[in-house]
Amino acid sequence: MADRNPPSFQLSVIIPTHNRAGTIERAIRSVLSQDVENLEVIVVDDASTDNTEQVIKALGDHRIRYIRHETNKGAPAARNTGIAAACGDLIAFQDSDDEWMPDKLAKQMQLFEASGSNADVVYSGFLRQSLNIQTYIPGPWVTVRQGDILQQLIQGNFVSTQTMIIRRECFEKSGVFDEQMPRLQDWELAIRLAKHYPFHLIDEPLVIAYETAGNISSDDAAGCQALQLILAKHNDIFQENPRIMCTHLFKIGHTKCLQGNIAAGRLEIMRALKFWPWRGKAWMALLVTLFGAQAYVFAASQMERAASWCDR
């Protein structure tokens, strides 16, 4: 049998982008500066209307491959276009508004080489940069960070797309990005990968993920919809973990109430309590829904909003 882990790797880095002319150069340069060989960078322009294409082509690096969607299809579709076009046996991802540390790929590739055929997914920690605040992920609540992380992962995501290197053949078993997901595509893919493969971690911040204006991660409505899709798609796993199911359903209900949809939010909170009736904050929230949307928003703000009511 041929060794599936040859001495040198062919690595493809996929960068989806849409109207990020102001940040795409930083993201690409942070990839091109990595101390690895046999590297290609596939930039998938998801129908940008700014000068993204000119910025990319001005870099003039032969390792860059530029692919353009003529219509906007979303980040998951752009990543899937990149996967289909990639030549590498290993696939990595970068976001067009984020930055890699100079030694990111070298450290991850060393782990692949050291682990041989036992490594299929290698990810790293990262810093989430919001204004002047940096948060390291995975945080203290993540107690299982390597190996079989599925039960830990369904509690909440700590594996971001731009931190992962994935052996190409893994997509054949787990599938590629779900293009129907409005958000949380990285979490949903990580759940599918974790069903089949152990994860290996470089537990240090090798990526800076910037929260910028217009970043879809700030869209609560899309996040709520995405969470509902994940619970439905992986219902078997969540059904086996009633306390975790309660947490996620309560978060959906809480978000809907904050958006003014008290009736729908109340139903989700009631569903949550059917799975785990010992959650006192959910009972409190359910009671407050009886006084209407304005009272709910006020009560939530008094309890530090989601940080207090929707903790793990």
Looking at domain 11-217, its CATH class is: alpha beta
What phi, psi does 292 have (nearest 5°)? 95, 170
**pLDDT digits 0-9 by tens, 156-177:** 999 999 999 999 999 999 999 9
**pLDDT digits 0-9 by tens, 223-270:** 999 999 999 999 999 999 999 999 999 999 999 999 999 999 999 999
Residue 23 CA to residue 97 CA, distance in Å, equals 5
Q: pTM, whole model, 2 decimals?
A: 0.91
Tabulate helix, strand, coil % of the chain (nearest 5).
Answer: 45, 20, 35
Residue 16 CA to residue 154 CA, distance in Å, equals 26
Residue 122 CA to residue 109 CA, distance in Å, equals 9
Closest residue by Cα to residue 224 from 250, 262, 191:
250
Domain boundaries, the chain: 11-217, 241-309
**pLDDT digits 0-9 by tens, 173-227:** 999 999 999 999 999 999 999 999 999 999 999 999 998 655 544 578 899 999 9
